[in-house]
Amino acid sequence: MQDDHVTIIEVGARDGLQNERNWVPTDVKLTFLQKLADAGCNEMEITSFVSPKRVPQMSDAEDIACHPFTKRDYVLVPNEKGLERALAVSSHVTPAFFVGASSSFQLKNIGMTHTDSLHLIPRLIAQVKNQDRFSRLCVSTAFYCPFEGKMDENQVVDFCIPYIEAGVDELSIADTIGMANPKQVQSLFHKLQQTFPNVLLTAHFHDTRKRGLANVFAALESGVRRFDTSIGELGGCPFAPGATGNVATEEVVSFLDDLGMKTGISLEGLSAAYRIVAPVLRRPNPTTYAKLGPFS
């Protein structure tokens, strides 16, 4: 991959919409996803196969995942039942497993201890690898936990080892509550690169304290070329108190354009996609991009 090419993984339809109280109709989600794909998003998280009681907004996962949108449509999968549901509906989707570096957060989010996930997730990763599929693992609370505070960097790296040994292709490293600073970002990504040189590393920043773009820059400087972002700054984890949306796709794309880096994503196309969900959200787009337009 060229050094000036950056891959954006659009997570608005999953991380973004999962946090919306008002039901977003399935046909709106489908049009939204298609417009995002039309805008040039080549990888997206499209839905979650989680408990519909706990995350009602994702209860139409089957109706979303049966449509292919991009070369890699990720679906969040918490457990065996989630994987069965995902694979039953489509051979196209790519499972994205998720664990929490903080055991308190993980327990609240998926009701599993670290020991539980160690018994389960490597087995699911191996199952996916045996089918020659790509596998993604999202590591929440890699910098701060809403219940435990600051995470120990070395422990976070060690936490990832069994999943790497199981053969996972990508680690998406998350600042779940948007508290990391650029130095912490550089330090953790540096250690992860040194320890796992053959794994794709992705940065997943929530923009709660408006450090998103600073952290994107820090990660870029460390060599990271994959970012999870969410159009219109949609999102947040319903089980992480205080979490707000991901760093906005349009701001990251505009920022990268300004830095002379290439994403292949059209800002006009993103605006067209946002217009699909805006009437359902019924609130102003909070991004600086919406107020001021592109950086350059």
Q: Where along the sequence are the contacts to ligand HMG (CB under 6 A)? A: 15, 18, 48-51, 54-55, 76, 78-79, 81-82, 85, 98, 109-111, 138, 140, 174, 176, 204, 206, 237, 239
15 touches Mg ion (CB under 5 A): yes
Is 237 noted as a catalytic residue in this protein? yes
Q: How far, rounded to the nearest angstrom, does the alpha carbon of residue 53 sit from its chain's CA centroid? A: 22
Selection from ligand HMG, Mg ion, none that 106 binds (CB < 5 to 8 A by kind) is: none
Selection from ligand HMG, Mg ion, none that 81 binds (CB < 5 to 8 A by kind) is: ligand HMG
CB of 236 to Mg ion, least distance (A): 7
Supply φ then ψ for residue 144, to 5 degrees: -140, 150
Q: How far, rounded to the nearest angstrom, does the alpha carbon of residue 236 sit from its chain's CA centroid? A: 10
CB of 273 to ligand HMG, least distance (A): 19
Q: How far apart are CA 129 and CA 137, in angstroms?
A: 13
Handedness of CA 195, 197, 199, 201 (dihedral sign): positive
Q: How far apart are CA 134 and CA 176, in angstroms?
A: 24
Selection from ligand HMG, Mg ion, none that 266 binds (CB < 5 to 8 A by kind) is: none
Selection from ligand HMG, Mg ion, none that 79 binds (CB < 5 to 8 A by kind) is: ligand HMG
Q: How far apart are CA 284 and CA 166, in angstroms?
A: 43
15 vs 233 by CB, closer to Mg ion: 15
CB of 6 to ligand HMG, least distance (A): 19
Query: Cβ(34)–Cβ(289) under 8 Å?
Result: no
111 vs 294 by CB, closer to ligand HMG: 111
259 vs 281 by CB, closer to Mg ion: 281
Q: How far apart are CA 236 and CA 20, in angstroms?
A: 9
205 by DSSP, 3-state: which? strand
Tokens of 28: 């709106």
Scanning 131-221, the segments in alpha helix (DSSP H) are: 153-165, 182-195, 212-221
CB of 11 to Mg ion, least distance (A): 7
Among candidate residues 138, 145, 160, 237, the one labeled active-site is 237
Q: What single-letter amino acid sits at 206?
A: H
63 vs 257 by CB, closer to ligand HMG: 63
Instruction: Give the DSSP per-residue string, 24-68.
Output: --HHHHHHHHHHHHHTT--EEEEEE-S-TTT-GGGTTHHHHHTS-
- Looking at the chain, the number of H-run helices and the number of E-run strands are 11, 10
CB of 51 to ligand HMG, least distance (A): 3
Selection from Mg ion, ligand HMG, none that 239 binds (CB < 5 to 8 A by kind) is: ligand HMG
176 vs 271 by CB, closer to ligand HMG: 176
5 vs 150 by CB, closer to ligand HMG: 150
CB of 54 to ligand HMG, least distance (A): 4
Selection from ligand HMG, Mg ion, none that 109 binds (CB < 5 to 8 A by kind) is: ligand HMG
Residues that bind Mg ion (CB under 5 A): 15
Q: Which residues are catalytic?
A: 237
